A and B are shown apart, each in its own frame.
Chain A
């Protein structure tokens, strides 16, 4: 039979040895790349954060009075009381991660990096942050405040104003442009 009459290998359902080897190289190379990526990821992915996780048993609830923010170093968080309720607010700014200090003059959290402001309940007031301050679940057990630092809840969306707080003059970091 004339060569030209042969159906092409794919149509015949057969492949030549060369084609098989070529495909084999490519598949093998691909598998190798996948294996390399997977092993690197397994080796280099962050280990579970062991430090700071757990439930912190803090002071009696009555010692956190209205309008105050108390920094808890072990948890890098603030315990605040605003509108009667207690909050455990993460110190890390939800914008770009700066440590947000409490400004006693204004009674607000004012981030020094890009001027995001939050009220005592961690609700967003001003600046480029995408949401209010992130927070940890807080429970009062036998009168004492317990904060679970293994769980981090995202802050309330912009415009949330559940806790109405009086505005004060003064400030530490001017609000963002």
Chain B
């Protein structure tokens, strides 16, 4: 066969039986083929085949939830790498951190990326929460996904906090001492709970091992479970930005609800005569009826009355946008990792507290509050009330409208609380020095990430 007639090897590979058994690539020249592209691939299956066009706009979500997911992936990969070189023992941990820097190729870079990625994830998750609040995306039918989100926020914070102890340097030891001693102001259960977390009354070997196991195993499992529900619900309910305009309208909503109830009822109605199908040889037979084992409303509320003509295919429109955001996120943490070293202070010394001993920045607002109020109020009640209020928000806020001008009160309360948190954090992080005295950051900066 003359060389010129041979097709390129890539084409031949794509057409080979083995390749086609691995990647099921339907022809993309028809809507059906494009839909199969999503159906036939477990990863793309995370996306619906079609999405409302409004979702393509960056400001529909600012892609914040997606960025948090990407950061999770980065942290899982770099964290696994770190696990190869880290021993959770007080005699080893600090030395291991030094070795990452001095002996292991790219060890320090991986550590930097893990550290900055973790800080960024806390920030991005909080911004995601703010975005969801401001868009009113926690309103029906997404109330419970907001609650799942609060769970994810707590997991993210616990992840950062447990990870903070692992380098076993002065920064780690004292930030965690101050942080975990807060628990013990909770009435009755506080003391035993703290000792349970630490495996003793002081931070030592037991605490290090516990934090390690919680950090790498317990929280990872909890996160994956919560994420499975979180993403599944986003997939089923669609994004709020893609809701039909009448989603804000109470009467149209009621009609939708009635429809859903009717559909759910119909699913149970097995007495209905089954339709027939025509087989290959022309005979008319009853179509086998799938048994009903549970109630699954076939169409989510938000999708019920969506005009079909404003939809686009997820592939490529949404997925390519996500890929760009994912790459930008990777580039950002890599750049941060190259530019800034993760800190490693002196070996942890239980007899010497460095000045000042600050909690990690996302808890420093709490620490600032502690300087003004009783520890029971500032350290236990305030955070408990905050988390409780977040969990209850979608059930307390019954205003169905998502338009900002209908939600002045909710937005004002949120802005007030969130503003207070930001102000406390900024004061605690930048304006406090030894003995928690007020300092100006341009005179002396006592901030350690």
Contacts and interface: CB of A to CB of B under 8 A. Distances in A.
Point out which of A73, A96, A99, A100 has the most chain B C-beta atoms below 10 A from its C-beta.
A96
B375 A98 contact: no
A174 B371 CA distance: 13
B436 A115 contact: yes
A176 B356 CA distance: 12
A100 to B, nearest CB: 8
Contact of B436 (A44, A71, A92, A113): A113
Contact of A115 (B182, B196, B210, B435): B435
Interface stretch (B95-103, B173-181, B300-308): B173-181
A112 B353 contact: yes
Contacts of A92: 202
A55 to B, nearest CB: 19
B374 A130 contact: yes
Interface stretch (A28-36, A45-53, A136-144): A45-53
B355 interface: yes
Contacts of B180: 97
Given A101-B353, A173-B434, A96 B370 contact: yes
Point out which of A46, A92, A97, A112 has the most chain B C-beta atoms below 10 A from its C-beta.
A97
A40 B351 CA distance: 32
Contacts, number: 96
Interface string B50-76: 000000000000000000000000000
Summarize A's interface: helix, strand, loop or mixed: loop
Interface string B158-200: 0000000000000000100110111000000000000110111
B93 interface: no
A29 B350 CA distance: 44
Nearest to A91: B351
Interface in B406-449: 434-438
Contact of A45 (B196, B355, B374): B196
A113 B200 contact: no
A174 B351 CA distance: 20
Nearest to B210: A44
Contacts of B355: 112, 173
A177 B199 contact: no
A95 B437 contact: no
A125 to B, nearest CB: 13
Given A44-B199, A46-B199, A97-B181, A110 B351 contact: no
A97 B178 contact: yes
B370 A114 contact: yes
Contacts of A59: none
A96 B201 contact: no
Interface string A96-132: 1111110000000011111100000000000010100
B351 A73 contact: yes
Point out which of B182, B206, B437 has the most chain A C-beta atoms below 10 A from its C-beta.
B437
Contact size class for A?
Answer: 20 to 34
A158 B351 CA distance: 25
A76 interface: yes
A156 interface: no
Interface string B194-236: 0110111110001000100000000000000000000000000
A149 B372 CA distance: 32
Contact of B353 (A45, A99, A177): A99
A71 B195 CA distance: 25
A89 B241 CA distance: 61
A131 to B, nearest CB: 11
Contacts of A113: 174, 178, 353, 356-357, 435-436
A67 interface: no
A58 B199 CA distance: 29
A96 B354 contact: no
A97 B437 contact: no
B375 A175 contact: no
Contact of B174 (A47, A73, A98): A98
A112 B352 CA distance: 10
A176 B435 contact: yes
Nearest to B185: A130
Given A113-B356, A114-B370, A130-B375, A177 B438 contact: yes
A95 B351 CA distance: 16
Interface string B338-373: 000000000000111111110000000001001110
8 contacts: A46-B195, A46-B196, A46-B200, A49-B200, A96-B181, A96-B370, A99-B352, A114-B370
Interface of A: 41, 44-47, 49, 71, 73, 76, 91-92, 95-101, 110-115, 128, 130, 172-177
Given A45-B195, A176-B436, A177-B436, 9 more contacts: A99-B353, A112-B353, A112-B357, A113-B356, A113-B357, A115-B436, A128-B370, A174-B435, A177-B438
